[in-house]
């Protein structure tokens, strides 16, 4: 019994007294961030279209993100909320669910996104443009909008700050990448949006920063490589100064930092996490 009681205690960590929403939490970067946040003590709301991972990555499909977190931290510290991030009413309901369950919202991680089939601008379709902008840019606008609305009306966090927003862009949002016209446009919008939000809400002590991952080993990248010539992953890895592709955990660490007191004077930061790719 003593062991059970200890396991249900709120864990210590850099995010121990915070409630966080992570969109796209069922797989890839979102899964890694949700795990890292929980292990740093946050209460976590996992948002995605489905609870189980969409990928065929064995370590992700054996047990869902929510099941794993409930096993590690307790069922009272994590929930799943089915969410289409491109729809305003569903993002609004997601924030309401977080507050209903945990009493407040401290951290919003706008991570959900898609990577379309590689193509050239003159071959990209309007339908592709609309889909990618809805999922990769509109979702961040909605996530910021409804998270900020909640942060402004609740009492400040014990630190004196009102909230932390971590947006997910890409190195495609800061440098030119081949055959990514719609993806680059959406990710570039996320970078500019982050800076704008940071400026408007700094007086309210709401932090808004953006991560720009490079080529990271996730199911999305695996799908992209499936449409490219054999050996593309090895060739691409060799193009990074650190050599090789990144891991989801490489992104989760900085996501923790940006939601912690260690980043108390950081807002409007555009942080490449890409093994030096964009520095060249």
Residue 5 lies in a domain: no
Residue 279 lies in a domain: no
Structural domains of the chain, count = 1
Q: What is the domain extent for residue 102?
A: 17-274
pLDDT in single tens digits along all 280 residues of the chain: 333 333 445 568 999 999 999 999 999 999 999 999 999 999 999 999 999 886 656 667 789 999 999 999 999 999 999 999 999 999 999 999 999 999 999 999 999 999 888 899 999 999 999 999 999 999 999 999 999 999 999 999 999 999 999 999 999 999 998 899 999 999 999 999 999 999 999 999 999 999 999 988 876 655 555 555 555 666 777 888 998 889 999 999 999 999 999 999 999 999 999 999 999 9
Structure tokens given for 128: 């592709």
37, 146, 183, 201: the active-site residue: 183
Contacts of 65 (CB under 8 A, 6+ apart): 25, 26, 27, 30, 31, 34, 35, 46, 51, 53
Distance CA 269, CA 76 (A): 33
Inside any domain, residue 197: yes
Active site (annotated) includes residue 183: yes
> What is the CATH classification number for the domain harbouring 189?
3.40.50.720
Q: Round to whole Å and give the CA distance between 60 and 26.
A: 8
The string of pLDDT tens digits covering residues 134-180 is: 999 999 999 999 999 999 999 999 999 999 999 999 999 999 988 99
Note whether residue 178 is domain-resident: yes
Residue 9 is assigned to a structural domain of this protein: no
Residue 200 lies in a domain: yes
In a domain? residue 280 = no
**Residue 230 CA to chain centroid, in angstroms?**
29
């Amino acid at each position: 019994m003593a062991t059970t009681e200890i396991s249900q205690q709120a864990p210590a960590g850099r995010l121990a007294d915070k409630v966080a929403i992570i969109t796209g939490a069922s797989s890839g970067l979102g899964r890694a961030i949700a795990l890292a946040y929980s292990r740093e003590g946050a209460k976590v709301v996992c948002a995605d279209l489905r609870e189980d991972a969409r990928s065929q990555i064995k370590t992700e499909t054996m047990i869902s993100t929510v099941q794993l977190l409930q096993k590690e931290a307790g069922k009272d510290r994590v929930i799943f909320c089915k969410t289409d991030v491109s729809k305003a009413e569903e993002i609004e309901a997601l924030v309401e669910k977080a507050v209903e369950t945990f009493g407040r919202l401290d951290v919003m991680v706008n991570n959900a996104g898609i990577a379309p089939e590689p193509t050239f601008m003159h071959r990209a379709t309007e339908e592709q443009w609309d889909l990618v902008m809805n999922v990769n840019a509109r979702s961040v606008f909605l996530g910021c909008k409804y998270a900020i609305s909640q942060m402004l009306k609740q009492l400040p966090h014990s630190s004196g700050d009102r909230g932390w927003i971590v947006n997910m862009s890409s190195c495609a949002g800061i440098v030119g990448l081949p055959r990514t016209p719609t993806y680059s446009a959406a990710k570039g919008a996320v970078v500019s949006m982050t800076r704008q939000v940071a400026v408007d809400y700094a007086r309210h002590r709401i932090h808004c920063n953006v991560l720009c991952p490079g080529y990271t080993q996730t199911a999305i990248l695996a799908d992209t490589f499936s449409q490219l010539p054999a050996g593309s992953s090895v060739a691409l890895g060799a193009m990074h100064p650190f050599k090789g592709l990144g891991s989801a955990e490489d992104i989760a660490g900085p996501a923790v930092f940006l939601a912690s007191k260690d980043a108390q004077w950081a807002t409007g930061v555009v942080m490449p996490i890409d093994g030096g790719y964009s520095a060249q």
